[in-house]
Structure formats: C-alpha cells, structure tokens
Homo-oligomer: A and B are copies of this chain.
Amino acid sequence: MFKVNENYLFLKESYLFSTIAEKVEKYKTTNPGADLIRLGIGDVTLPLPPSVIKAIHTSADEMGSRETFRGYGPEQGYSFLRDKIVEIDYLQKGIVIANDEVFISDGSKSDTGNIGDILGEENVVAITDPVYPVYLDTTIMRIGKSNKILLLECEEDNGFLPQLPKEHVDVVYLCYPNNPTGTVMTKSELKRWVDWALENNSLILFDSAYEAYIQDENVPKSIYEIENAERCAIEFRSFSKNAGFTGLRCSYTVVPMSLKTKLANGTEININKLWNRRQSTKFNGTPYIVQRAAEAIYTTEGQREVKEMVAYYMNNANIIRQGLINKGWRVFGGENSPYVWMKCPNGLDSWEFFDHLLNKCHIVGTPGVGFGSKGQGYFRLTAFNSLEKTVEAVERIISVQ
C-alpha cells in the first residue's frame, strides 16, 4: 500500500476563497436580482496594458516562424528579462543585483510555496497571523503541524506589525506591503528584522508582491534597500498586481549570491546554487511569449502604463479608505497598498460582517479570520474593482445603517 504525505491532513479542507465563492453562489441563487460588487479576492480587473499585448503578438509571430522559433528556454529565465529587472527594478534604485541572482517564474504563489523544497525540515518557521494562507499551508505540507511553526501575532495595538520573536526562529516569512492588512514596514522597522536575522543566522523570505503600491518614501520597496539584507533574505516579486499579470503568470525571485548557511558538517553552502538546482530540475521556464510580455513593462511606454494602472487602483483604495473613515469605522492600510483592512463595527465577528455586507449592501469582501485567528473581528476590502463599482460600493456602505 503506497503511502501519502500525511502532513496534508493537517490542512484545512478548503481554501478560504472557495468557501467565499460557495457562500456567494448560494446567495445569488436565493437572490437572483442582487447586483453584487466584489471587493473580495485580490484579482485585478483592468486589461493588460497595450505594450504588453503588443509584445505577445510580436513574440507569438516569432514562435510561428521556423527562423525565429524558440523551444526550451533557460529554466532561470531569458537574459533579456533578467537584465531589465536588474537594471530598472534594482540598479536604478541603487541596489546591486546580478543577472544570475534573478530567477523568472510563473508566479509568487509557486515560488513562495516551492522555496521550502530547499530548506531543512528541522527549521523553526515563523509566520505572521493574519497571513496570506500559502506560506502557512505550504509549510504545513512540508513539516506537518509541528511546534516548529511559530505564529507571530499581528494586532491592532502593535499596528499589525509582528514583534521580533523571543524564541529561536530559523526562517520567517514577511510580506510588506502586507496582505491582508495593507500595513507597511518603514526602513527602520525592516532594518530591525534584517539585523535580527543576521544576528541569529536566520533567513527572511520577503514577499514584496505589492511594492508598486508604495507611495511613502520612507517605506522600502525592496528588502535589499536595507544594508546587508543580501546576506539573510530572499525576495519575491510579481507582475500580477502592478501590471495585471494574474492570468498571464510571471514573477521573479531574487536569491543573492551572498546568501549562505552551513551544512550539518559545518561546510558553507550557497543558497542561490540550491535554488538553481531546484528550478533546473523541477521547472522548465516561463513561456517565451510571457517573458517578452514582462519585458515590455520595462519600456518607457510600459512603465507609464503600469504607473497609470497602479494609480487607478490606489484611487480606489483611497475612496474605500476615506468612505469607511467617514462612516466612523476603524481603518488600516490602503495608503501604500491595494488592501484596506478594517475593524468590523458593532462587535461583529468577521463572518457576521461578511454576511452583513453581502445581505445589506450586496458587497463581497474577505473575512479577516480567514487569514488567521488574529484576523477575527477584522475584514479586508480590495481596490481592484473598477472606479465606478468602487464608488457605488462605498455609497452603499455609507447609506446602510
């Protein structure tokens, strides 16, 4: 009788967003006329920018001609894209990253999940609560529901920022701007974590999928803005939220050459080399046409288009934020992030407020408790719907008692 990985049994049966989808389906069946507005899932709604579409057409034609056809590409991604990332996302901001420290992939969900492949099962892993469920679920898949998983509580009275762990921790997942709370770490706050990691020889897995939404100059877009972070951190970046690639699938992960640790026998080992071996063996690269599409974001035209998309969503975030504040509710995030996080009013818990918004306002949001027990009593609204729907949603919220 072949055996399965029984760690999977510790996972919750269903993914948060499936539960929401079921509730919404049920509501629609019993209320067929309801005009629902979705401010729930973090999926974009604006179409892909023109320069991206143009790049897909051009590269598709290349793939249709014998002379320019490309088969297997480098598993790590094409140099034309890695070079642009190095130049525009890092060098122009004063951060030195080499081409071979950048790994192109099909999504940050894959990379933040797969990174565990190269880590030892004996590591103590710290994860914030509330959190993007993928970090926790993939860690449980790998090491089970053991006492090696430590939850870092993020509460209103600490501004939803985790405290440095008092216990020994080997690996910590940090996501800033944060999903779901929309909160950010300033440079000095992130520096405390880098210093802690360097002192404890710990690894920071830094998810900066939402960096494009940062408005405040004091908030780092990359962890490598902090001195010596290249010796303790892997950074995950995505084209999903800045350029609308949620359905096109492209992201990248930076694994600096300076990031090292020691084997059980004391020998030093290079993490970049391990990730390279993982990717070359278990992945065959991101589609050529998708990498050309991502490259187009780095043209002058592409940069302008991406800035416009982000500005559009940030305007929505501001409308939601101001509307909820005017309503007298306690609101967080939404200033450097497409996510607005709020305290549920009148002592409602997360799912009660979900039902309230669905029934009274026909608005779908995300219950905070879905991201962890410390999210109980909170709620997440996203800025990714259209301006018109966002304005309408806020009007509905304001008008309902």
The interface of chain A, by Cβ under 8 A from chain B, is 1-6, 8-9, 11, 15, 41, 43-48, 50, 52-53, 56-57, 60-61, 63-66, 68-73, 106-107, 109-110, 113-114, 117-123, 133-134, 137-138, 141, 170-171, 201-203, 244, 246-249, 261-264, 269, 271, 274, 277-278, 280-290
CA gap between A123 and B117 in the complex, in Å:
18
Q: Is the CB–CB distance between A15 and B280 below 8 Å?
A: yes
Closest to A204 in B: B2
Does B4 lie within 8 Å of A269, measured CB to CB? Answer: yes
Known: A41-B72, A73-B247, A288-B247. A281 touches B64 (CB 8 A): no
- B66 close to A46 (CB less than 8 A): yes
Query: Could you say which residues of chain B place their CB within 8 Å of the CB of A66?
Result: 45-47
Complex interface: chain B residues within 8 A of A264 (CB): 3, 6
B71 touches A4 (CB 8 A): no
Question: Quick check: B47 and A65 within 8 Å, CB to CB?
Answer: yes
A247 to B117, CA, bound (A): 25
Is there an interface contact between B117 and A63, defined as CB atoms closer than 8 Å?
Answer: no
Partner of A247, one of B269, B277, B287: B287
Residue on B nearest A66 in the bound complex, by CB: B47
Contact B4 A274 (CB under 8 A): yes
B261 x A2 contact (CB < 8 A): yes
Output the residue of A3, A68, A109, A113 with the most chain B CB within 10 A: A3
A285 vs B244: C-alpha distance when bound (angstroms)? 15
| Distance (whole angstroms) from the CB of A41 to the closest CB of chain B | 7
The oligomer's copy count stands at 2
Given A281-B134, A284-B107: A6 touches B120 (CB 8 Å cut-off): yes
> What are 17 contact pairs spanning A and B, CB under 8 A?
A2-B261, A3-B122, A3-B261, A4-B269, A6-B263, A47-B65, A48-B64, A50-B64, A53-B61, A56-B56, A56-B60, A60-B60, A70-B247, A71-B247, A106-B283, A109-B282, A134-B282
Bound complex: CA A290 to CA B249 (Å):
10
Q: What is the distance, in angstroms, from A315's C-beta to the closest C-beta of chain B?
A: 16
A203 lies within 8 A of B2 (CB): yes
Q: Chain B nearest CB: distance from A78 CB in Å?
A: 10
Q: A201–B41 contact, CB under 8 A?
A: no
Contact (Cβ within 8 A) B278 A246: no
User: Contact: A2 with B109, CB < 8 Å?
Assistant: no
What 20 additional pairs, Cβ within 8 angstroms, besides A106-B106, A138-B281?
A: A1-B201, A1-B262, A2-B119, A5-B119, A5-B121, A8-B118, A44-B71, A46-B69, A47-B66, A47-B68, A48-B69, A56-B289, A73-B247, A109-B283, A134-B281, A138-B282, A248-B288, A249-B284, A249-B286, A287-B287
B278 pairs with A141, CB closer than 8 A:
yes
Bound-state CA distance A73–B107 (Å) is 13
State in angstroms the CA–CA spacing of A5 and B281 once bound together: 15
> Which residue of the partner chain B has the closest CB to A70?
B247
**Residue in B closest to A109 when the chains form the complex, CB atoms:** B284
- Residue in chain B with minimal CB distance to A250: B287
Give the docked Cα–Cα distance between A43 and B11 (Å). 39
* Contact status A263-B110, CB under 8 Å: no
In the complex the two chains form, what is the Cα distance from A279 to B202 in whole Å? 29
Which residues from chain B contact A134 at a C-beta distance below 8 Å? 281-282
A288 to chain B: which residues have CB within 8 Å?
Answer: 247-248
State the CA gap A203–B1 with chains docked (Å): 8
Q: Which residue of B lies closest to A43 (CB)?
A: B71
